[in-house]
Amino acid sequence: MTAPRVSIVTTVYDRLDCLRRCLRSVQHLQWTDFEQIVVSDCPGPAIEAAIDGLVAATGDPRIRHLPRETRANDWGMTPAFTGRRAAIGEFVCFLSDDNAYLPDHFGPLLAAFDADPGLGFVYSSCQYAGQRILASPTPMGARIDLGQPLFRRAVLPPDLPFHEFAWDWRLIHLLMTRRVRWQHHDAPSFIFRLDAYPSIREALA
């Protein structure tokens, strides 16, 4: 079996409606060479079974559920890196259950990698919670969300050397301090808090 080019890691605890909409957004992607790993943070048997049902209902063999046996409850950090270690794609991204991608999200990011094999991550702009657009040409704290970048899997550590609320920005900053090269693609194709965008949510239904 050939490995997919992109691994999408989706973390979820018990927000079934959010996860359903997130899965739908992935089903609308124009780029189809991906796997999606849904990692649940030990939500309990009933919710775990419901997540299994949502994944099965997609009828998509590219999507699988990876439940954790113990709850980390650490802002999604441990579930995200559980998925990162299970990912087999050349590139990895992190899509939380309440967020979404627009259908054309991956094409330009992968084109940037193809044009410059030395890049470690490429990130889109972000429609942020119905409030503003995050479009900083340089990654900065509070100006980039973890859902925006597509990372070359080889640059991501298997685990993180810190444990804190702002771990997502610390990860990006860690890569920058390691002189990992990056590029910004200024198109707002990542949606932070899909529920804040009813028209987009309905279009992806």
Task: Look at residue 47 and tell me if it is in a domain.
Answer: yes
Task: Look at residue 131 and tell me if it is in a domain.
Answer: yes
Task: Look at residue 62 and tell me if it is in a domain.
Answer: yes
Instruction: List, for the chain, all residue ranges whose pLDDT scores fall below the cut of 70.
Output: 1
Digit-coded pLDDT (tens) for 30-56? 999 999 999 999 999 999 999 999 999
Task: Look at residue 27 and tell me if it is in a domain.
Answer: yes
Residue 111's pLDDT is 98
CATH number of the domain encompassing residue 79: 3.90.550.10
Task: Look at residue 1 and tell me if it is in a domain.
Answer: no
Residue 1's pLDDT is 60
Residue 199: φ, ψ to 5°: -65, -40
Task: Look at residue 190 and tell me if it is in a domain.
Answer: yes
Task: Look at residue 74 and tell me if it is in a domain.
Answer: yes
Q: Which domain holds residue 115?
A: 6-203
Task: Look at residue 107 and tell me if it is in a domain.
Answer: yes
Domain count, the chain: 1
